[in-house]
Structure 1
Amino acid sequence: MVDVLALLAGLGLGWTIALGVLAESSGSLSATGGLLTAAGRIAGLVAAYSMVVVVLLVARVAPLERAIGQDRLVRWHRKLGPYPLFLLGAHAILITLGYARAAHDGVLHQLWELIWTYPGILASAVGAILLIAAGVTSYRKARRRMKYETWWTVHLYTYLALFLSFSHQVNTGASFVGHSTNRAWWTALWVGTLAVVVASRVGVPLWRSLRHRVRVVGIHPEAPGVVSVVLEGRRLDRLPVGGGQFLQWRFLRRGEWWQAHPYSLSAVPTSTRMRITVKDLGDHSQGLAAMRPGTWVAIEGPYGAFTPDTRRTDKVLLVGAGVGSTPIRAILEDLPEDTDVDVILRASDAPSLVLRDEFAEHLHRRRGRLHEAVGHRDRVPLDAAALGRMIPDIADRDVFVCGPDGFTEAFVHAARAAGVPRDQIHHESFAF
Structure 2
Amino acid sequence: MTPRRDPRREYQRRARRADLLAIALWASGAAAAALFLASGGAGQFTSPTAVVTSLGIVAGLIGTDFILVMLVLAARIPLIDRTIGHDRAIAVHRSLGKPALYLLLGHGVLLLTGYGMSQGFNPIAEIGPMLALPDMPLAVIGMGLMITVVVTSLVAVRRKFSYEGWHLVHLLSYFAVAFALPHQLSVGGVLSEGTVQRIYWIALYVVAFGAILTFRFIEPVVSSVRHRITVAGVTTIAPGVTSIHFSGRNLRDLGAEGGQFFIWRFWTGKTWWHSHPISLSAVPTGSTARITVRDLGAGSARISAVRPGTKVSIEGPYGLFSDSARTSPKLAIIAAGIGVTPIRALLEHAQFAPGDATILLRASRQDETYLWDEIRELAEARGAACYVMVGHRSKTGPSWMSDVDARRGVTLQTIFPDLAQSDLYLCGPTAWLDSIETEARATGIPSHQIHAERFDW
TM-score w.r.t. the length of structure 2 is 0.89
SS at match of 1:229: strand
- Look up the match of 2:398: none
- Look up the match of 1:346: 362
**Gaps in structure 2 of 5+ consecutive residues:** 1-16, 395-402
Residues 25 and 90 of structure 1: CA distance in aligned 2, closer, same or farther (over 3 Å): closer
Q: CA deviation at 1:25?
A: 6.2
SS at match of 2:236: strand
- 2:375 aligned residue (344, 347, 359): 359
- 1:253 aligned residue (268, 288, 293): 268
- 2:157 aligned residue (142, 151, 162): 142
**Distance (Å, rounded) in 2 between the aligned partners of 1:61 and 1:30:** 43
Alpha-carbon deviations, 1:135-165, whole Å to 9, x = none?
Answer: 0011000111110001100111111111110
**Distance (Å, rounded) in 2 between the aligned partners of 1:350 and 1:364:** 21
- Look up the match of 1:163: 178
SS at match of 1:427: strand
Q: CA deviation at 1:52?
A: 1.0
- Look up the match of 1:376: 392
- Percentage of matched positions with identical amino acids: 36
**Gaps in structure 1 of 5+ consecutive residues:** none
Kept in 2, the 8 Å contact 1:134–1:155? The answer is yes
Residues 183 and 337 of structure 1: CA distance in aligned 2, closer, same or farther (over 3 Å): closer
Alpha-carbon deviations, 1:218-270, whole Å to 9, x = none?
Answer: 11112232111111111001111111001111111224323222100000001
SS at match of 1:13: helix
Kept in 1, the 8 Å contact 2:333–2:358? The answer is yes
- 2:254 aligned residue (226, 239, 252): 239
Residues 314-329 of structure 1 mapped to structure 2, 5 A cutoff: 314-329=329-344
Kept in 2, the 8 Å contact 1:71–1:429? The answer is no
AA aligned to 2:134 is: P
AA aligned to 1:209 is: S
- 1:79 aligned residue (84, 95, 109): 95
Residues 337 and 186 of structure 1: CA distance in aligned 2, closer, same or farther (over 3 Å): closer
- Look up the match of 1:214: 229
Residues 60 and 418 of structure 1: CA distance in aligned 2, closer, same or farther (over 3 Å): same
- Look up the match of 2:283: 268
**Distance (Å, rounded) in 1 between the aligned partners of 2:188 and 2:447:** 48
SS at match of 2:192: coil
Q: CA deviation at 1:389?
A: 3.5
Kept in 2, the 8 Å contact 1:58–1:73? The answer is yes
SS at match of 2:231: strand
**Distance (Å, rounded) in 1 between the aligned partners of 2:239 and 2:203:** 52
Kept in 1, the 8 Å contact 2:282–2:289? The answer is yes
Q: Which piece of structure 1 moves more, 385-394 or 260-269?
A: 385-394
AA aligned to 1:231 is: F
Residues 314 and 29 of structure 1: CA distance in aligned 2, closer, same or farther (over 3 Å): closer
Tell me whether 1:410 sits opposite 2:416 in the alignment: no
- Look up the match of 1:431: 456
Kept in 1, the 8 Å contact 2:76–2:216? The answer is yes
Q: CA deviation at 1:405?
A: 1.6
RMSD: 2.2
Residues 288-307 of structure 1 mapped to structure 2, 5 A cutoff: 288-307=303-322
Kept in 1, the 8 Å contact 2:271–2:302? The answer is no
Residues 124 and 188 of structure 1: CA distance in aligned 2, closer, same or farther (over 3 Å): same
Kept in 2, the 8 Å contact 1:315–1:339? The answer is no
Kept in 2, the 8 Å contact 1:324–1:403? The answer is yes
**Distance (Å, rounded) in 2 between the aligned partners of 1:395 and 1:15:** 42
Residues 43 and 397 of structure 1: CA distance in aligned 2, closer, same or farther (over 3 Å): closer
- Look up the match of 1:61: 77
**Distance (Å, rounded) in 1 between the aligned partners of 2:41 and 2:372:** 71
Alpha-carbon deviations, 1:327-380, whole Å to 9, x = none?
Answer: 000001002363433221111111211101111221222233321110012114
Kept in 2, the 8 Å contact 1:382–1:414? The answer is no
Aligned residues: 431
- Look up the match of 2:350: 335
**Distance (Å, rounded) in 2 between the aligned partners of 1:178 and 1:395:** 58
Q: CA deviation at 1:387?
A: 3.1
Residues 100 and 428 of structure 1: CA distance in aligned 2, closer, same or farther (over 3 Å): same
AA aligned to 1:319 is: I
Kept in 2, the 8 Å contact 1:305–1:428? The answer is no
SS at match of 2:281: coil
SS at match of 1:287: helix
Residues 322 and 33 of structure 1: CA distance in aligned 2, closer, same or farther (over 3 Å): same
**Distance (Å, rounded) in 2 between the aligned partners of 1:36 and 1:179:** 26
**Distance (Å, rounded) in 2 between the aligned partners of 1:30 and 1:395:** 59
Residues 151 and 187 of structure 1: CA distance in aligned 2, closer, same or farther (over 3 Å): same
Q: Which piece of structure 1 moves more, 9-18 or 221-230?
A: 9-18
Residues 159 and 367 of structure 1: CA distance in aligned 2, closer, same or farther (over 3 Å): same
Kept in 1, the 8 Å contact 2:429–2:455? The answer is no
Q: CA deviation at 1:57?
A: 1.5
**Distance (Å, rounded) in 1 between the aligned partners of 2:337 and 2:135:** 51
AA aligned to 1:349 is: R
Kept in 2, the 8 Å contact 1:224–1:352? The answer is no
AA aligned to 1:332 is: L
**Distance (Å, rounded) in 1 between the aligned partners of 2:337 and 2:92:** 28
TM-score w.r.t. the length of structure 1 is 0.93
- Look up the match of 1:308: 323
Q: CA deviation at 1:175?
A: 2.1
Alpha-carbon deviations, 1:88-147, whole Å to 9, x = none?
Answer: 1111111112222323474333202211x1111100100111111110011000111110
Q: Which piece of structure 1 moves more, 395-404 or 266-275?
A: 395-404
